[in-house]
Each structure stands twice: as C-alpha cells, then as structure tokens.
Amino acid sequence: MTTKQLSGAEIFMQSLIAEGVDTLFGYPGGAIMPVYDALYDYRDRLNHILVRHEQGAIHAAEGYARVSGKVGVCLVTSGPGATNTITGIADAMLDSTPVVVIAGQVGTKMLGTDAFQECDIVNVAHPISKWAYQIRSAEDIAPAIKRAFHIASTGRPGPVVLDFTKNAQIEKAEYIPQEIGFLRSYEAVPETKPGSIEAAAELINAAQKPLVLIGQGVELGNAQEEVRQLIEKADMPAGCTLLGLSCLPSAHPLNMGMLGMHGSLASNVKTQECDLLVAIGMRFDDRITGNISTYARQAKKIHFDIDPSEINKNIPVDVAVLGNCKDTVARVLELVKPANHQAWRDSFQSYHDTERTKVIDPEIHPAGGPIRMGEVIDRVSTQAHDKAIVVTDVGQNQMMSARYSRFSESRSIVTSGGMGTMGFGLPAAIGATFAAPERTTCLFVGDGGIQMTIEELGTIMEQQCPVKIILLNNNFLGNVRQWQELFFQSRYSFTHLLSPDYSKIAEAYRLPYALVTEREQLNEAIATMLATEGPYLLEVAVMEEDNVLPMCCPGNDVDDMLLEI
C-alpha cells in the first residue's frame, strides 16, 4: 500500500491543526511562500491574521497566549522578517509567554552563502528562547512542530523558534502524527524535593506575620484557586507582582495591592516587617526587591517555583518548593492549619490610608487642573465593571494602569514586564481580542508607545478587532521625563514629543474617534467608547508632568518610598 505523500508545507498545516492551533499572526515573504500557498487551502481551519510588521505578529501572538493560555503562533519570512521578531522573542522569554515563531529560511544548499535574506536566526535566537531549531527536510517537520509546542507550553513556558528551510517546505513526505516521549536534557516539571512540602507548611503554621507574594506563575500554572484557598485558610495577606495582578481579585480582603517600585505602600513596607515571606510563581525581580542586600532580611522565606534556576538566584530562601504550583500549593494547603492574623492584617490599614490621602485621591479625584492619568483609568475600570482585559504599553501608562485598574477575572492583565517593550501594547491588544472575543479589551497607551507600532491600526481596521484604545497623551515620553525630573535636575533631554493629529490618523484608518480635553467630557466619552461595537480610539489630553507615585527609587530599600515630589 502506497502512503500518501504531502508537501512539507501541507505537513506543517496538519501539524499545526494537530496541536489545536486555530489562529496565527503573520506576514508573508519569499522564503515562507510555499507555506502561505498551502495556507490558502486551510483558511477554513486556520485563521491567519495579516499584521503590518513582524514585530506586530510576535506581540499579537504574545497577547493571544497570555489571555487564552494557549500557545501563540507567529509566521514570518527569513532575514528581516525573522529578525523583526527578536524583540518579541526576548520579551516572551523574560515574561514566560508560550509562543512558537516559524521563520522561513533559504534552502539548505544555500545555507552559509550569504544568500538573499539569509540570516542565522537559530544562533541569534538561542540565548533568548527556550529552543531554536532548523528544519532541513520534510520528514523533520512533524517531529519539530510537536517538540516546539511541547517545549513552549510545558514547565516554565516560553518562546520557541523554528527556522524552516524552503526546500523542506516543498519536498514531499508522509505525514505521521507525533507523540512526545522523553526529550533529552529537557525536564518540564522538576521533582519536588522530599520534605519541602512539610517544611513549607511548618513555616506557615508558625508564622505570626506572613506575607504572600503572588506572581504570574500562579496564572501560568492555573493555580488561582489553590492560592486563594491557601491565603484564606492561613489568613495571610498577599501582594501581587505586575504580571500577577489578576491572579487574585482586586477586591479580595487579603489583597494588599501591587508590589514593587510603583506598588502599594502597605505591601512594600510590610515586606520589611513580615516574619515569613511566601513567594509563589515570581522571580524576585529587581523592580520588586529594591536593594537586595536589605530586602526582607528579617523574614524566613519560602519560594514556590517551577524553574530551579530561579531558586536562590536573587534572594536566598529557607525552603524551595519545586514543581507546578497548582500541585505543590495544593499539597501544602492540606498540611496548613487554619489561622487568624487579624492584628497583622489590620496593621496594613494605616499605610493604605496614608497612600489614599497623599497619592490616590489627588490622582483620581483631583480638585481641578488638567485631567490626570489615574482618573481616566479609574473611570474606565468602573464603567467596564472591573471585568475588562487590560492591555498596556510601557511607561507611565503602564504603571498607572496597573495601579488604578481593578480586576475581577483571571488572565486580565497583558503587559510587557521584564523587557519593558514600548510598542508592545497595540499588537498585544489585537491578539487579546482573538483570544477572548467575548470580553472587552481596553488598551492604555502613551503617545510614545503608540507611535512605535502605529501601523497595526491597519490590522485593527481590516479585522475590526474590538480594541478600545485609550491614548493618554501628555506630549512626553512620560516615564523617562519623570526620571529626568527626579535624578537629572529636570533637564528634559529629548523626551518632549510632537504628536500627529490623531483625529486624522483615526479617520485614515476608519476608526471611531473622540478627543477629551475637559474633565466634564470624560464619563460620557468612556461610555460611548465602551458601547461602540468594534474598535475605538479615545484620545485624552492628560497632565503633561504627572508622576507615578509612590515610587521606590533605584537602589533604595523597598519600603523607602516617595509619596510626593
């Protein structure tokens, strides 16, 4: 019996479908053209979103992955097509986002000849990806796709890059569905060390002033419920990292707010007072810890993580609990005794009150003057009933969005954390709408970030992605300007921006648009935006020299926070 022979491009399509892929973001070119030709016949099964730049493709795939929990897929050509995804690959690596990038490549006989649009993307991507591999034959396609999706989505998720030679796309071979067995040198979930579960429970049961740090690993491990049960049973207040903000509802009585440089005063101060620090799915990033030599020296520390390389990397801990936190937290939960730490919990309130009086109320309920960023975000969150997917760009818009958005559902914050990638927001919001079309997606972006990937308004126009774009326009690169004010004697060197007429840009891209310059216009404008089907661009002229506070200045102790400037 003769087996059916398929082209490599067709095998690629079958392999994607076998992985459950339904959406991919891409941009065609010469070295990936056989794949795009095959895709023409799979349009009813694979929804390809044509972006306007390859950076847009990778960020859209990230947004899709972060909201859906599935692997995001990005399809590009060789050379500049592949290198244009590098920033997004690095972004996905630092933020543990599962994406697979498939880049076309010249034929194997042309490798190493400096052929047109040849680039050694495998070696470029190795340091910033979980796995990078070159497919050189049609027989190699199905196994490579299976491994790529397995590696991207298991353990600590991350990006995988496949370099797809043109001859492999054209050659014929039999499509053989794949199964994953042992992968040499790859351990997705490390073994939980004997005694660590019991040791963690013992420390929690003995603590009088425990504090839990909730990171994105809780979201990635789908451990939201287990963590909630743990903090409730042991009566432990909790703070959330930037990427972990939607793991625990904002209104939960044990949620003490965001951690870190622009986090809540209470959670940062109490980090330096607790007797037990329980870190779950977070990596003790420098924006969380401040001065590591003084960080929580008084506390015993437990670290739940799936990645052994994170243990003791930045902060030494007393107990390391390796494994998927959905499993390990559940096991610790069984051994934890019910507790009551009301006096400890109550001690947070005075710091909440101080922050509200000095920072929050003036920001969201200003007595007059220009519109503030915080009040815009607060009102959007209120009118969206705290249910929106909040996508941000990077800068003051990001920190203000994190501080003043409220979350009631998981997988609701999409932002660039470790890499801090300006231009991330607009394409990531596109991906978010394809991951959860039934939800409202609100993008908060500054006038600097939107101009970095503004071409993706073309993707929004073509796809009618229902992104509600809230452009916080302060005519500055706001975050850099704030640092210049604080640390460089207000010498605003090249941070003032001359913006285009966004009404004309919106008109060109056929987007509904409104400009808010007066506070009295704000509520009605937000209501109109949220009620409008499809995309919307709402530009708000905000205070030019607003600052994100509180702030822990670089190198300072985490509880040494500025409340006013």
Q: What is the DSSP string of 291-360?
A: SGGGTTTTSEEEEEES-GGGTTTSS--SEEEES-HHHHHHHHHHHPPP---HHHHHTTHHHHHHHIIIII
DSSP state of 214: E
Residue at 52 is within a domain: yes
Residue at 552 is within a domain: no
263/134 same-domain check: no
| Cα gap 265→348, rounded to integer Å | 9
Looking at the whole model, is its pTM more than 0.85?
A: yes
330/397 same-domain check: no
508/444 same-domain check: yes
Residue-level pLDDT at 2: 54
- Of all residues in the chain, the percent with pLDDT exceeding 70 is 100
Residue-level pLDDT at 529: 98
48/165 same-domain check: yes
Residue at 561 is within a domain: no
63/141 same-domain check: yes
How many CA atoms are closer than 13 Å to the CA of 72, on its beta-carbon side? Answer: 35
Residue-level pLDDT at 282: 98
How many CA atoms are closer than 13 Å to the CA of 547, on its beta-carbon side? Answer: 17
Residue at 502 is within a domain: yes
Query: 224-281: per-residue pLDDT in tens?
Result: 999 999 999 999 999 999 999 999 999 999 999 999 999 999 999 999 999 999 999 9
Query: 2-34: per-residue pLDDT in tens?
Result: 578 999 999 999 999 999 999 999 999 999 999
First-to-last C-alpha distance (Å) of the chain = 79
Strand-pair partners of 541: 473
Place of tokens 């929004």: 460
157/200 same-domain check: no
- Kindly state the helix (H) or strand (E) to which residue 38 belongs, with its residue range: helix 33-39
Tell me, what CATH number does 402's domain have?
A: 3.40.50.970
Cα 316 from chain centroid (whole Å): 26
| φ/ψ (deg, to 5) at 337 | -95, 145
385/324 same-domain check: no
Residue at 462 is within a domain: yes
Residue-level pLDDT at 184: 87
Mean pLDDT of 133-141: 98
Residue at 188 is within a domain: no
Residue at 425 is within a domain: yes
Residue at 179 is within a domain: no
- Of all residues in the chain, the percent with pLDDT exceeding 90 is 98
15/102 same-domain check: yes
Mean pLDDT of 45-49: 98
445/297 same-domain check: no
Using pLDDT thresholds of 50, 70 and 90, give the confidence band for residue 510: very high
| Cα gap 91→61, rounded to integer Å | 12
| Cα gap 502→525, rounded to integer Å | 16
Query: 457-498: per-residue pLDDT in tens?
Result: 999 999 999 999 999 999 999 999 999 999 999 999 999 999
Whether pLDDT at 150 is above 70: yes
Tell me, what CATH number does 200's domain have?
A: 3.40.50.1220
| φ/ψ (deg, to 5) at 243 | -80, -10
- Residue at 291: amino acid letter: N
Whether pLDDT at 362 is above 90: yes
Query: 516-549: per-residue pLDDT in tens?
Result: 999 999 999 999 999 999 999 999 999 999 999 9
The pair of structure tokens assigned to 184 is 């040499």
> Which residue, 349, 382, 410, sits at the end of a domain?
349
Residue-level pLDDT at 269: 98
Query: 158-170: per-residue pLDDT in tens?
Result: 999 999 999 999 9
167/200 same-domain check: no
The pair of structure tokens assigned to 122 is 């495998």
Whether pLDDT at 1 is above 70: no
Residue-level pLDDT at 181: 82
Residue-level pLDDT at 4: 87
| Total number of domains in the chain | 3
Domain range for 298: 196-349
Q: What is the mean pLDDT of the chain?
A: 97
Mean pLDDT of 282-310: 97
18/165 same-domain check: yes
- Residues whose CB falls within 8 Å of the CB of residue 99, separated by 6 or more in sequence, listed in order: 58, 61, 62, 65, 71, 72, 73, 74, 88, 89, 92, 152, 159, 160
Give CA separation, 346 vs 278, 342, 429, 561, in Å: 19, 6, 38, 21
Query: 409-439: per-residue pLDDT in tens?
Result: 999 999 999 999 999 999 999 999 999 999 9
Whether pLDDT at 340 is above 70: yes
273/395 same-domain check: no
The pair of structure tokens assigned to 235 is 């009566």
Query: 343-357: per-residue pLDDT in tens?
Result: 999 999 999 999 999
The pair of structure tokens assigned to 296 is 């929580």
Instruction: Residue 478: name the closest of 519, 517, 422 by CA.
Output: 422
Place of tokens 């605003």: 492
- Residues whose CB falls within 8 Å of the CB of residue 357, separated by 6 or more in sequence, listed in order: none
